[in-house]
Each structure stands twice: as structure tokens, then as C-alpha cells.
Amino acid sequence: MSRIAQENFICAALLALFTAVIWMSLDFGPRARMIPLPLAVFGIVLTLIQVAWQNLRSTDDLQIDMITVDPLAVAAEAKAEVREEPRKRVTWHEEVGAFGIVVALVALIFTLGILPAVFLFTGGYFALTREYSWRASLIYTSILTVAVYLLFVVALQIHPYYGLLAPFFDQTG
């Protein structure tokens, strides 16, 4: 069996699996099928794109010889190889710090709700680690919070947990 035939066989198996998920999820209630149905449709679309890509392109573009080694690349890698330092042992202070981060996130979720917690936690993490500038941190934090809102509240129509702020929000709508 050729490589293309093997890849097409795997794609056919994936299409059958995704189709079975769609068929099974149609027996679920409307809210229960909100996750498996879109994921299966997305899987079918990606599999069909893969089938088109591997069958409509030139076979020369798809061939990768994994056995051949470029001697120049090996020589360059050997020169660039840096002596590795011994692994640093994790101290109990770092363990407590990691545990504290998780506790802080859970406390933010319970007190403020999921959306403010995502915004504050992500912004605080970026600010404390100084991974990005304050401006980039604010932009990334805002994008993540909006993405969480659009995914869960708008697309999946799941009402967010408002935490202890729940009495301040009108949840009748």
C-alpha cells in the first residue's frame, strides 16, 4: 500500500469517527450537543482540507526523506551546542509559590466571577513576571478575556459564574 493510500485510509477512518460523533450527538439534548457537534464538524472540515492538500498537491512537495542528514547542519549544530548546566533543584519556596498562584486564581473566581478573574489574574501574571511590557500585557489580557467571553457566553450561551458579585447582576435575561 502506498503512503498516499495509507494517509487516505487514516483520513477515511477519521471521517467515519467524526461522522459517528455527529450521529450519536444528535440523540443528545440541545445543550448536551453543544460541545461534541461543533468539534466533530470542525474535525471533518480539517480532515477534508488534509485530504485535498495531500491528494491535489504534487507528490514531490509531499516527500520528506527522514533518513538523509545534512552534514553542514550537523556541523553547525555541533558548533552551536552549549554545555548544559546541571538542573536546578526545585525548592519548597517555589512549590509554595506555585500553589499560591493556583489558590489566588481560585479565590478570584469565587469572589469576583470568572471574567474579572481571568482579566485580573492574566494581567497580574504578566505584570509580575514582566514577560511583556505593560501595554502588551494589557492588550493580551483584554484579548484573552474577550475571547473567553465570546466563546462561553456568546457562542456556547453558558451563563458565567458571577461569584460574590452575583447580586449586582441581573441574571433574569
Are 106 and 160 members of one domain?
yes
Using pLDDT thresholds of 50, 70 and 90, give the confidence band for residue 28: confident
Q: Are 113 and 163 in contact (CB under 8 A)?
A: yes
Q: Give the pLDDT confidence of 31-87 residue by residue, as tens digits.
A: 888 888 889 999 999 999 989 988 887 766 555 555 565 666 656 666 665 555 677
| Average pLDDT value for residue range 145-158 | 88
Residue 68: the pLDDT is: 60
- What element of type H or E holds 77? helix 71-80
Choosing from 38, 64, 90, the residue where a domain stops is: 64
Q: 1-25 burial by CB neighbour count: b if 16+ within 10 A, else e?
A: eeeeeeebeebeebeeebeebbeeb
Residue 151 has pLDDT above 80, yes or no: yes
Integer Cα distance of 109 and 44 in angstroms? 35
Are 109 and 56 members of one domain?
no
Query: Is residue 73, in this structure, part of any structural domain at all?
Result: no
Residue 18: the pLDDT is: 94
Residue 153: the pLDDT is: 87
Are 55 and 107 members of one domain?
no
Mean pLDDT of the chain: 82
Q: Alpha carbon 22 to chain centroid distance?
A: 22
User: How many domains is the chain built from?
Assistant: 2
Q: Which residue range forms the structural domain that includes residue 131?
A: 102-168
Residue 166: the pLDDT is: 74
Residue 101 has pLDDT above 60, yes or no: yes
Model's pTM, two decimal places? Answer: 0.49
Using pLDDT thresholds of 50, 70 and 90, give the confidence band for residue 169: low
Query: Is residue 173, in this structure, part of any structural domain at all?
Result: no
Choosing from 42, 64, 86, the residue where a domain stops is: 64
Integer Cα distance of 34 and 28 in angstroms? 9
Query: Is residue 84, in this structure, part of any structural domain at all?
Result: no
Task: Give the single-character DSSP code of 172.
Answer: -
Tell the residue number behind the cell numbers 512537495, with chain if given: 61
Residue 67: the pLDDT is: 55
Query: Is residue 82, in this structure, part of any structural domain at all?
Result: no
Tell the residue number behind the cell numbers 460523533, with chain if given: 21
Query: Is residue 129, in this structure, part of any structural domain at all?
Result: yes
Q: Are 109 and 161 in contact (CB under 8 A)?
A: yes
User: Amino acid identity, residue 59?
Assistant: T
Choosing from 18, 49, 64, the residue where a domain stops is: 64
Using pLDDT thresholds of 50, 70 and 90, give the confidence band for residue 30: confident
User: Amino acid identity, residue 53?
Assistant: W
Residue 150: the pLDDT is: 92
Greater confidence (168 vs 30) lies with 30
Q: Which three cell numbers stand for residue 2?
A: 502506498
Residue 29 has pLDDT above 90, yes or no: no
